Structure 1
Amino acid sequence: MTIFDLPASAWLLLTSAAFLIGMAKTGVHGAGMAAVPLLALAFGGKASSGIALPMLIMADIFAVAYYHRHANWGLLLKLFPWAAGGVIIGTAMGTFIDDQQFRFLMGIIIFISLGIMLWMERGNKERVPNSLAFTASMGLLGGFTTMVGNLAGPVMALYLLSSRLPKNEYIGTAAWFFMVVNVFKVPFHIWGWHTITTESFLLNLSTLPLIAVGALCGIWIVKRIAERFYRIFVIATTAVAAVLMVL
């Protein structure tokens, strides 16, 4: 299937999702959450995860190319092993999870994450909790949610915002995390779930120009948001995305 074979409604949903994914990867994180239900509506829940993954990786490349110098590798090296475990668990469980029930559950998890973010903002917490349990739970949950629904954005927002990272370091760390984890997921989608095929990948390539435009728009928007407002902006866009997921 190519973009020219799609019905007009599916074409509109796919291209809109591609633009939003590009924006999300360069700083407008709630936009990526909004792209998930659009793709699910066009292709179905499980199939849409395979459609989304190569698009996410293409957008990750733009984000890493622009923000690669700002990553906090201390945080990343702590998270990667746990995230890999979460991906494996998600792969094993994904076959048995109902799309609608999982999407509703993810919306609830996102709202809980937002509550914790707001609590930490009001409490003026300066550092992420210094415990292996917190890092392990965030890594496992991030890996699981990104494998099953490409919905790890709020989980990583919770972890990285609680780390009190500056704006560019926050974006750079998230960019590297998702590029590494998304590439790690590819074999599971190809040989485990069979949701990435040659035809679906060619369809992904046709959306690259819109991903690029979205990435540039995301950079433009983030540059115009003051440091002190950026954290509020991330929380607000994540909240909107959570409402979309529940609905």
Structure 2
Amino acid sequence: MISLFSFELSVADLVIFFLVAILIGMSKTGIHGTGTMAVPLLASVFGGQLSSGIMLPIICMADIMGVLYYHRHAEWKYLRKLFPWAILGTILGTIVGKSMPDDVFRMIMAVIIILSVIIMIWLERGRKEDVPDSPWFAGLAGTTGGFTSMVGNLAGSLMAVYFLSMRLPKNVFIGTTAWFFMVMNWSKVPFHVFSWHTITWNTLLLDVITLPAIALGAYIGIVLVKYLKDKTYRWFIMGVTVLAAVLMLLR
């Protein structure tokens, strides 16, 4: 066992921890779905709620990398629609998340993600142009995204489906999601510190050592995205999202 900032971790635990950081880095530079895969991996080392607090600073550091690279591509008209609803969802998640059993949350999340992908395919094939622009669609996506983000850092796949439904070009999609999650994730920090008490000085110090792994993951994501055409990228993201939902069910 290796002692790090009051945590006793095995070599296998450390490998998983750094793999999680790489996956999160990839998710912030365009490979959405890998962040969802990281959630059960980290929970296997630190448990449910504590892993959520340990993961959040890693996500926040990765968010900065994603925004620095893709910031100029963001479409703010979509973000302005989402932010009020996402804040509402975050508050609801803070209240409910303390008492929600892990198995119940896991099932709800898997169902939400799978339904989201079904809706995405329906929109893609049916050309339902009015649905993505409807106020109820933004309200539902924002509230659900804020809730799932607060409870389990699992809104990445869900919001990917929402932004893909807008048929945004590849780089605009990545830039818009990068700004959305940076704002939302940094706003969650006070809730974890003062309400859930899952972020401490020891967890922050532990998170800092993952910076090189986050940077590596971000670089891998940038390289992969460059080689994918817009249509291929859309189907690739949907495939990764489905895989993430399956992993949630098997967790």
TM-score category (smaller protein): over 0.9
Could you tell me which residue of structure 1 aligns to residue 194 of structure 2? 191
Per-residue Cα deviation, 1:95-143 (whole angstroms, up to 9, x for no partner): 1100122112211111111111111111134465333222111111000
1:10-25 to structure 2, matched below 5 A, reads: 10-25=13-28
Could you tell me which residue of structure 2 aligns to residue 246 of structure 1? 249
Secondary structure class of the residue paired with 2:4: coil
Farther-moved stretch of structure 1 (1-10 vs 162-171): 1-10
Q: Is the 8 A contact 2:161 2:238 kept in 1?
A: no
Q: Is the 8 A contact 1:62 1:215 kept in 2?
A: yes
After TM superposition, give the deviation of residue 155 of structure 1 in Å.
1.9
Whichever residue aligns with residue 2 of structure 1, its letter is: L
Could you tell me which residue of structure 1 aligns to residue 176 of structure 2? 173
Could you tell me which residue of structure 1 aligns to residue 185 of structure 2? 182
Q: In percent, how many aligned pairs have the same letter?
A: 55
Whichever residue aligns with residue 79 of structure 1, its letter is: L
Query: Is it true that 1:124 corresponds to 2:131 in the alignment?
Result: no
Could you tell me which residue of structure 2 aligns to residue 59 of structure 1? 62
Query: Is it true that 1:233 corresponds to 2:232 in the alignment?
Result: no
Per-residue Cα deviation, 1:31-68 (whole angstroms, up to 9, x for no partner): 11110000111101111110110000110011000000
Moved over 6 A (4+): none
Q: Partners of 2:78 and 2:131 in 1: how far apart?
A: 10
Whichever residue aligns with residue 236 of structure 1, its letter is: G
Q: Partners of 1:130 and 1:121 in 2: how far apart?
A: 14
Per-residue Cα deviation, 1:54-84 (whole angstroms, up to 9, x for no partner): 0001100110000000001000011111101
Q: Partners of 2:239 and 2:135 in 1: how far apart?
A: 29
| Structure 2 CA distance for partners of 1:129 and 1:228, relative to 1, 3 Å | closer
Could you tell me which residue of structure 2 aligns to residue 34 of structure 1? 37
Query: Is it true that 1:8 corresponds to 2:31 in the alignment?
Result: no
Q: Partners of 1:223 and 1:59 in 2: how far apart?
A: 19
TM-score for the superposition, normalised by structure 2: 0.95
TM-score for the superposition, normalised by structure 1: 0.97
1:201-212 to structure 2, matched below 5 A, reads: 201-212=204-215
Secondary structure class of the residue paired with 1:129: helix
Q: Partners of 1:83 and 1:109 in 2: how far apart?
A: 16
Could you tell me which residue of structure 1 aligns to residue 142 of structure 2? 139
1:60-99 to structure 2, matched below 5 A, reads: 60-99=63-102
Q: Is the 8 A contact 1:80 1:139 kept in 2?
A: yes
Q: 1:115 is matched with which residue: 97, 115, 118?
A: 118
Farther-moved stretch of structure 1 (96-105 vs 86-95): 96-105
| Structure 2 CA distance for partners of 1:127 and 1:219, relative to 1, 3 Å | farther
Whichever residue aligns with residue 107 of structure 1, its letter is: A
RMSD (Å), alpha carbons:
1.3
Q: Partners of 1:97 and 1:212 in 2: how far apart?
A: 33
Residues matched between the structures, number: 247
Q: Partners of 1:51 and 1:91 in 2: how far apart?
A: 16
Could you tell me which residue of structure 2 aligns to residue 215 of structure 1? 218
